[in-house]
């Protein structure tokens, strides 16, 4: 039951209307039940994996808080109450701290092992929906509790909802306890009936639908045609399909994120922003400050910085960057091309162009070309296919079968118009023009006309298969 399915169009209004009528203390139970139903529609086995992961993480968090007495918050509290002789750590405290470290390492190792099993097993066991996202979220939570920067959540229902919250379950963002969990703890005070929030969230949801059904799914047609049968096309079509894929994956992933944020907003929650106009970046580092922010910040805080970050010299910094981006590549998929994609971005950040003395516009073009070239590595099915496509580009750079890209003239017009709309929106936002706020500030009649136009465009020009069979979101497979 994806966000664009007919089932969800029935499911969410029911969840939302009941949620609005419930008193605060019952909202957590209702949302948790709805989240489990949502995931259960993909398969009950996926639900069992999530519940198991949730219980293990919750119990481990309680143990870490109880025995990790020398860390962060608990250490500060202990020091504030200490007697003069308390400066010396007792053997008992050291033993407890060692126990906490052992539990932390064991449970994080367990999560990594489970994730690797499902991602890299050679059998026909399918990858559980959302496991990459809620596993990283669990690891981040455990790390924060172990460090003492946050308290462990003692309410199992609150923590279960933190892990299972359906607007972010399938494709993130990878939430932090300081954001989502804190809101769940205060669910009774969330502004669920605020008219301004409802309008803003509904507009975000509608824009996400446009990104997915009008743009991403239409771009997917020529991209899939070329990448599945690249030998039948010339180098021009491969380059064109690769350029288009940059906008497909952006609109697909950003579309899901915007829809998720819109749905969460209607429920009174504010999810992390996952994208900030990534193709406006003027360096590789800047790109990763704009693309998939929740993953980028996770890798920075829980991989790069613990490795030493940039504090141990240039060589060690370069090694740490490569390890971090290697983890990013492996997280995305099992093929060696994903690892290569991650390492290429690591190399790009080590030898970044941010200090080049060229106009910023030139830097943006160069970074887009770099990112787009690496998207080819990301999109192929294997390194063998990558080699074959590069051979076609180098030896047969011509327009060979444009009609084989499976779009008619009018479809190409819609595709180009959609891409231009996304570019214009990002450029305007980059210059400080808040497109969403501008719409919300218009009078009711003009707002209704804009909403009707967007919804009409989705209904009339959206890409649908037989019996409303919409394409799944790309990042679901990761």
Quick one: what percent of the chain has pLDDT higher than 90?
Answer: 74
What confidence category does residue 76 fall into, taking pLDDT thresholds of 50, 70 and 90? very low
Candidates 287, 227, 209, 245; CA nearest to 453 is 209
Residues 6+ apart with CB under 8 A from 25: 188
Query: Could you tell me if 381 and 229 are in contact, meaning their C-beta atoms sit under 8 angstroms apart?
Result: no
* DSSP, res 181: I
Residue 42 pLDDT more than 50?
Answer: yes
Q: How many residues does the chain have?
A: 478
What confidence category does residue 269 fall into, taking pLDDT thresholds of 50, 70 and 90? very high
What confidence category does residue 71 fall into, taking pLDDT thresholds of 50, 70 and 90? very low
The pLDDT, as a whole number, for residue 413 is: 95
Q: How far apart are CA 43 and CA 24, in angstroms?
A: 30
**How far does Cα 323 stand from its chain's mean position?**
20
What confidence category does residue 95 fall into, taking pLDDT thresholds of 50, 70 and 90? low
- What's the predicted TM-score (pTM) here? 0.89
Mean pLDDT of 216-243: 95
pLDDT in tens, 385-441: 999 999 999 999 999 999 999 999 999 999 999 999 999 999 999 999 988 889 999
Query: Could you tell me if 188 and 23 are in contact, meaning their C-beta atoms sit under 8 angstroms apart?
Result: yes
**Mean of the per-residue pLDDT values for the chain?**
89
Mean pLDDT of 315-334: 93
Residue 468 pLDDT more than 60?
Answer: no
Mean pLDDT of 153-178: 93
Question: What backbone phi and psi angles, to 5 degrees, belong to 343?
Answer: -65, -35
Please give the residue that has the higher pLDDT: either 472 or 218: 218
The pLDDT, as a whole number, for residue 249 is: 95
Residue 192 pLDDT more than 60?
Answer: yes
Q: How far apart are CA 372 and CA 285, in angstroms?
A: 15
Residue 93 pLDDT more than 70?
Answer: no
What confidence category does residue 289 fall into, taking pLDDT thresholds of 50, 70 and 90? very high
Least confident of 118-132, 164-178, 214-228, 251-265: 118-132
């Amino acid at each position: 039951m994806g966000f664009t399915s007919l089932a969800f169009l029935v499911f969410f209004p029911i969840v939302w209307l009941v949620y609005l009528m419930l008193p605060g203390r019952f909202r957590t139970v209702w949302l948790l039940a709805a989240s489990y139903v949502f995931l259960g529609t993909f398969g009950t086995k996926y639900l069992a994996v999530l519940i198991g992961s949730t219980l293990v993480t919750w119990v481990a968090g309680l143990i870490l808080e109880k025995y990790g007495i020398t860390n962060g918050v608990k250490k500060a509290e202990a020091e504030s109450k200490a007697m003069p002789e308390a400066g010396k750590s007792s053997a008992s405290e050291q033993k407890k701290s060692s126990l906490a470290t052992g539990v932390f390492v064991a449970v994080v190792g367990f999560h990594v092992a489970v994730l690797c099993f499902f991602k890299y097993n050679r059998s026909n066991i399918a990858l559980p929906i959302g496991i990459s996202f809620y596993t990283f979220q669990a690891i981040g939570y455990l790390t924060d509790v172990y460090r003492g920067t946050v308290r462990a959540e003692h309410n199992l229902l609150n923590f279960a909802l933190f892990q299972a919250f359906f607007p972010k379950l399938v494709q993130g963002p990878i939430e932090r306890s300081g954001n989502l969990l804190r809101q769940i703890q205060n669910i009774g005070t969330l502004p669920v009936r605020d008219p301004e929030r409802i309008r803003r969230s509904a507009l975000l949801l509608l824009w996400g639908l446009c990104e997915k059904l009008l743009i991403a799914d239409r771009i997917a047609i020529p991209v899939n045609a070329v990448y599945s049968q690249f030998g039948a096309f010339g180098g021009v079509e491969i380059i064109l399909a690769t350029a288009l894929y940059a906008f497909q994956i952006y609109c697909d992933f950003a579309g899901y994120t915007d829809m998720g944020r819109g749905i969460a907003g209607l429920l009174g929650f504010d999810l992390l922003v996952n994208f900030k106009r990534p193709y406006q970046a003027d360096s590789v580092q800047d790109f990763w400050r704009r693309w998939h922010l929740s993953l980028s910040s996770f890798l920075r805080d829980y991989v790069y910085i613990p490795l030493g970050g940039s504090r141990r010299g240039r060589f060690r910094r370069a090694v740490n960057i490569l390890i971090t981006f290697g983890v990013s590549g492996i997280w995305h998929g099992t093929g060696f091309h994903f690892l290569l994609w991650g390492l290429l971005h690591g190399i790009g950040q080590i030898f970044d162009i941010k200090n080049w003395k060229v106009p910023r516009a030139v830097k943006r073009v160069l970074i887009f070309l770099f990112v787009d070239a690496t998207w080819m590595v990301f999109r192929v099915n294997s390194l063998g296919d990558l080699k074959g496509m590069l051979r076609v580009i180098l030896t047969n750079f011509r327009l060979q079968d444009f009609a084989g890209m499976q779009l008619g003239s009018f479809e190409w017009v819609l595709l180009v118009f959609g891409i231009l709309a996304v570019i214009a929106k990002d450029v305007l936002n980059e210059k400080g023009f808040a497109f969403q706020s501008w719409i919300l500030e218009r009078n009711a009649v003009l707002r209704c006309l804009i909403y009707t136009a967007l919804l009409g465009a989705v209904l009339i020009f959206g890409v649908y298969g037989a019996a409303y069979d919409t394409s799944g979101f790309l990042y679901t497979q990761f």
